[in-house]
Amino acid sequence: MGATGIEVLTPGGRDASIPWTQPGSRGGAIQRVDSKRQRFDAGAWLLLALLAGAGCGKQALHGTVIPNLRPTVQLTQVPAPADTSGTYAYEVSWAGYDPDGRVAFFEYSVDPPSRALAETVWVKTIANRKTFVFRSDSLASGSAQRARGFHTVVVRCQDEQGARSPLAAASFTSTTMAPGVQILVPSPSTLLARAVPAVVRIEWQGIDPDGIGSQKPASYRWKLFGPSSEFTPTQALADPDSVRRFYAPAFAGWDSVGGDVQAASLHDLVQGQTYMFVVVAFDQAGAYSPVFSGDSNMLLFRVDPALSLGPQITIGSPAFTYTFPSGGYYTDPDFYVRVEFPADLPIQLFWSAKPAPGGFIRGYRWAVDILRLDDETPRTDEATDLGHWSRSTTDPGIVLPADSPGAGGATTHYFYLEAEDDLDLRSLAVVQFTVVRASFDKELLVVDDTWFTPDRVGTAGCVTSALGQWPSAAELDTFLYAAGDKPYRCYPAGARSPAGVFAGYSLDTLGTHFTTAASFNLRRLDRYRNIIWMTDLNSAFAYTGPYNTFFRPMPLLRALSAPAVANPLSTWLLQGGRLWLMGGGSAYSTLINFDAPRSPDNIFSAALGELGPGRLMYDNAHWKSEVRVLHSFRARRSARAVGAWAGAPDYTLLPETLFEKSIATDPLPPLRTGTFYLTSYAAEHLFKPNSVLEHLAGEPPGTPASSVLDTLYETQSGEAGSGWPLMTVYHGREASLFVFTGFPIWYFQRSQTIELVDFVLGRLWGLSRQPIAR
C-alpha cells in the first residue's frame, strides 16, 4: 500500500450524528475525528468507592430514555479550633456535581462500620460544610508523634432522580490528617472478585493531604492473603476493619516499598485460587491510611488461566464482523481473517476488545505489512509509515487509504491489531485482505441459489414425470435458459421446448449446490457488471436432512449473510456492480441469521435490530423499516411508479398486473402430473413506511432531497393484503442500480415474466437480447 494518510474512526462507529470524512490525498496527514481516552485525575479520586443506588432514567428528546448519571462529591478539610481541652476539630467542606441534573442533598456519617451488611447511620443535610469535634486519643509515650486512634467522616450526595454518588472520605487523628490509598488496576469491588491471570501487576495511588513538600505518602506496605493466611479472603472482605485492627499500627511482616513505588507484581499464583491484596499508605509522621474497604485498598481476585491469553478481539468492516474465540496471539495463518475489498476505495476497519470482568482496555496499536512483530522501531510519520507499530490509541477504528491494483488484478496485505488490557495482557488479530479490481468484461451472471426437486431417472434412461409443486430443478432451468424449439428427450413426438425467459441474452450461469461461503470469493463475481441472484423461500428454510437420496443444503446467500462472514456480494456492489435480487426467499436468507428472540420468523424489524446496517437488504436494497414474508395472489404495478429521475425508464411499460398462470396463458408441460397452476406465492414485502431521500449530485444548495427508492410492484390480496411494496429500484448515490423483487418470477405467466425481464435487463441495465423464435 502506498504511503498515504489514514482516518481515525470515532468511538461509536459510523453514525449520522458523527462527522465522517474521507482520507486525504496520498501523502496527507491523519484526519482525526475524535478520540476518547480514559484518564485518572489525581486531584479527584475518591478514597472510597462503595456502590450506591443507580437511580431512574431521564427523558431525552423524542421520548428516548437515557440512563441517569451518578453525581460525584469531593472533600476538603482543614484543622479547626477545638472548644474544650482534650478534643480536636476539623472543618470538612464538600462539593457535589451532577453531570445531567442537580444535586438534591448531601448525607454524612462519622466512623461508619466496615462489616458486611452492617447498618450505617446517615445524617441528611443541604449544607456544604461542618466542623467535627473529636476526643483526643492517648499517645503511646510522651515523645510519640502519632495517636493510636482515628476518626473518619464519609460523605455522599444524591441527585433529583435518586442516584447516589460514590463515597468520599477523610480520616483524622489528633495530630495529623491520615493518608489515603486507592487501588486502580485491577479496579476493586466489594461485589465482584476480579479475574486475573497467574501473573498480575496491581497499581494504586496514594495521597497525604497535609504532606510537607509533597502530597505523596512516604511509603506503602502491602500483603497478599490466601486460603492459609491469618485471614482468608472471605473473612477479610466480611469485616475489613478486623484486618486493620489485627496488624496496626506496625503491620509487621508486610512488604514495604517507598512512596514513589505505586505498584506490585505478583507471580506464581495458583490457578483457580482466590486471593485478597491489601495496601496501606504511611505519611512522614508514621500515620497510616486507616480506612479498609473492598472498594479502595483491598482487592479480591481469582486466578483464571484463560485470562493469560489476553483480551478477546472483535474486528470488522461494513462487509464483515468477526469475534475471535478467545484472547491470544493469533499468529497462525489458520486463524487469519480473510476478506476482500474493492480497489480505489478507502478501507474501513473497526474493532473492540473484551477484557476480563471488571477490567478495561488500555489501548490498541496496529500496523500494515509489518515485517517483524517484535520490531518496536517508532514510526517516522504516524500517518504514512504504516509498516511499523502505531502509537497506542483508544480509537475504535481507522480508514486505510485506497489501493489500486492493475486492471483485473489483486494485491494482498496483512493488517495487524494488538489490544492491551489493564493487566498488561495483549492479544493479536491478523486480517489478510485482498484488494481486487473488477474487470466487468462480461455482461451478466445468473446465480441459481434455489433447491428444487431434482430429476429422477426412470425406465430406458428417461426422466420420470415431474411430481410435486412446479417447478422441479430441471423445469426451472428450462423456464429460464432453454434455447427454445428443441425436442424433449423421451417426450411425445412433436413436443418442442419453449424459449427460456433469459434466452437471447449473453449470460453465464452459476449453481450454488454444495458451494460454501468459505470457497466463494470476490473473484467469482468481479468479471460481471450485472448479476441476477435467485433464492426461493423453501430453500431459504435450509433443510439439511435427507431429501430422498439428496440433501438440501443452506442457500449460499444465507451462509454469506451470517454474522462474522465477509460477503463478497457487498464488496462487488461497492465496485459498481448492479444486482437484481429475487426469488421470494432472498430477503429471508439475508435476515434470518439476525432474527430477534420471540420475534416471528417471518417478520424482520429495524426496531428490534433485525434489519440494520451491515445487511444487504438495509445497506443496498434500502429496505430500512420492516420486512414481512406472507402469501399473496398477484402483484400490481404501483401508482407510485413514476420514475422521472435522470436515466429512468418508462415504468408504464411494465405489465399493470402480474397474473398467476392459467390454462389459457400457459399450457401444461408434457408429462407434468404434479401441481402446475399455483394460486399464491411467497411475497417478501415492506410493511412500514420506508422513505429514502438523498440530495443528488450537482444540485444547488437548498434543493429539497429527492426520493431514490422507487416502488414498481405492490402486493395484491392474500395474507399480505394489498398495497405493500414488493419490487423496488434503488437509484441513489450509495450503490449502483439495485433491483429487489420479493417474489419468484416463475410463478407468473410466462409472457409477463419475459416483459419483466426485458424491463430490468434491457431498459434499466441497457442489455440487448438477440432475436429468438418464441
For the stretch 241-272, pLDDT in tens is 999 999 999 999 999 999 999 999 888 899 89
- 508-513 contacts at long range (C-beta below 8 A, 24 or more positions apart): 508/442, 508/444, 508/445, 508/446, 509/445, 509/446, 509/447, 509/448, 509/481, 510/445, 510/446, 510/447, 510/448, 511/448, 512/447, 512/448, 512/449, 512/555, 512/556, 513/451, 513/553
pLDDT for 176 equals: 86
The closest of 534, 490, 484, 489 to 509, measured between CA atoms, is: 534
pLDDT for 444 equals: 97
pLDDT for 48 equals: 34
Angle made by CA atoms 671, 677, 682, in degrees to the nearest 5: 125
Cell 472478585 belongs to 193
Name which of 206-220, 274-288, 492-506, 568-582 the model is least confident about: 492-506
Residue predicted with more confidence, 198 or 411: 411
Other beta carbons within 10 angstroms of residue 607's beta carbon come to 11
Residue predicted with more confidence, 106 or 459: 106
Q: Are 713 and 638 in contact (CB under 8 A)?
A: yes
Name which of 470-484, 616-630, 652-666 the model is least confident about: 470-484
**Mean pLDDT of the region 561-575:** 87
Output the nine-digit C-alpha cell for 658.
402480474
Output the nine-digit C-alpha cell for 47.
478514597
Residue 5 has pLDDT above 50, yes or no: no
Output the nine-digit C-alpha cell for 310.
489476553
Query: What's the mean per-residue pLDDT of the chain?
Result: 84
The closest of 745, 735, 677 to 713, measured between CA atoms, is: 745
Name which of 216-220, 224-228, 537-541, 605-609 the model is least confident about: 537-541
Q: Determine the longest span between alpha carbons in the chain, in angstroms.
A: 127
pLDDT for 728 equals: 97
Q: Are 489 and 462 in contact (CB under 8 A)?
A: yes
What are the residues facing 547 on neighbouring strands?
Answer: 550
pLDDT for 644 equals: 80
pLDDT for 664 equals: 95
**Mean pLDDT of the region 296-307:** 88
pLDDT for 157 equals: 96
Helix (H) or strand (E) holding 477, with range, is helix 473-481
> Strands, E, within 486-527: which ranges?
508-511
Residue predicted with more confidence, 674 or 543: 674
Q: Collapsing DSSP states into helix, strand and coil, what is residue 121?
A: coil
pLDDT for 491 equals: 74
Residue predicted with more confidence, 231 or 46: 231
> Cα(714)–Cα(635) distance, rounded to whole angstroms?
6
pLDDT for 354 equals: 92
Chain centroid, CA 3 distance in Å: 29
Output the nine-digit C-alpha cell for 166.
460514590
Give exposure, 104-127, as e/b (b: 16+ Cβ within 10 Å). bebbbbeebebeeeeeeeeeeeee
Q: Are 220 and 268 in contact (CB under 8 A)?
A: no
Indicate the pLDDT class of residue 129, thresholds 50, 70 and 90: very high
Residue 740 has pLDDT above 70, yes or no: yes
> Cα(331)–Cα(329) distance, rounded to whole angstroms?
6
Residue 72 has pLDDT above 70, yes or no: yes
Per residue in 6-46, pLDDT tens?
Answer: 444 433 333 322 222 222 332 333 233 233 333 333 333 33
Question: What DSSP character marks residue 631?
Answer: E
Residue predicted with more confidence, 732 or 670: 732
Please give the C-alpha separations between residue 740 and each of 272, 309, 628, in angstroms, as whole numbers.
55, 45, 14
**Mean pLDDT of the region 693-717:** 89
Residue predicted with more confidence, 458 or 765: 765
Question: How are the residues of the chain apportioned to helix, strand and coil, as percentages rounded to the nearest 5?
Answer: 10, 35, 55
pLDDT for 22 equals: 28
Residue 425 has pLDDT above 50, yes or no: yes
Residue 774 has pLDDT above 90, yes or no: no
Q: Alpha-carbon dihedral of residues 586, 588, 591, 592, nearest 10 degrees?
A: -140
Looking at the chain, the whole-number percentage of residues with pLDDT higher than 90 is 56
Indicate the pLDDT class of residue 361, thresholds 50, 70 and 90: very high
Indicate the pLDDT class of residue 734, thresholds 50, 70 and 90: confident
Q: Are 643 and 707 in contact (CB under 8 A)?
A: no
> Cα(176)–Cα(79) distance, rounded to whole angstroms?
9
Phi, then psi, of 693 in degrees rounded to 5:
-115, 140
> Cα(243)–Cα(221) distance, rounded to whole angstroms?
13
pLDDT for 465 equals: 65
Residue 440 has pLDDT above 60, yes or no: yes
Query: 274-282 and 298-303: which strand pairing?
Result: antiparallel
Please give the C-alpha separations between residue 247 and each of 459, 570, 746, in angstroms, as whole numbers.
96, 66, 85
Question: What DSSP character marks residue 16?
Answer: T
Residue 121 has pLDDT above 90, yes or no: yes
Indicate the pLDDT class of residue 696, thresholds 50, 70 and 90: confident
What are the residues facing 299 on neighbouring strands?
Answer: 277
The closest of 404, 367, 405 to 388, measured between CA atoms, is: 367
> Cα(655)–Cα(760) distance, rounded to whole angstroms?
13
357 by Cβ neighbours in 10 Å (0-12 / 13-18 / 19+) ranks as middle
Cα Rg, the chain, nearest whole Å = 35
Other beta carbons within 10 angstroms of residue 223's beta carbon come to 18
Please give the C-alpha separations between residue 240 and each of 92, 132, 190, in angstroms, as whole numbers.
25, 25, 10
Residue 233 has pLDDT above 60, yes or no: yes
Residue 63, sorted as left (phi over 0), alpha (psi -120 to 50) or beta, turns out to be left
Q: Alpha-carbon dihedral of residues 290, 293, 295, 298, nearest 10 degrees?
A: 90
pLDDT for 66 equals: 67
Indicate the pLDDT class of residue 589, thresholds 50, 70 and 90: very high
Looking at the chain, the whole-number percentage of residues with pLDDT higher than 70 is 86
> Cα(198)–Cα(140) distance, rounded to whole angstroms?
42
The closest of 724, 685, 698 to 645, measured between CA atoms, is: 698
The closest of 130, 169, 129, 176 to 150, measured between CA atoms, is: 176
Q: Collapsing DSSP states into helix, strand and coil, what is residue 584?
A: strand
Q: Alpha-carbon dihedral of residues 750, 756, 762, 763, nearest 10 degrees?
A: 150
Residue 471 has pLDDT above 70, yes or no: yes
> Cα(699)–Cα(708) distance, rounded to whole angstroms?
14
pLDDT for 747 equals: 96
Other beta carbons within 10 angstroms of residue 758's beta carbon come to 18
Query: 219-225 and 255-258: which strand pairing?
Result: antiparallel
Helix (H) or strand (E) holding 693, with range, is strand 693-694
The closest of 27, 46, 36 to 8, measured between CA atoms, is: 36
> Cα(390)–Cα(535) distance, rounded to whole angstroms?
45
> Is the Cα dihedral 248, 249, 253, 254 positive or negative?
positive
pLDDT for 752 equals: 97
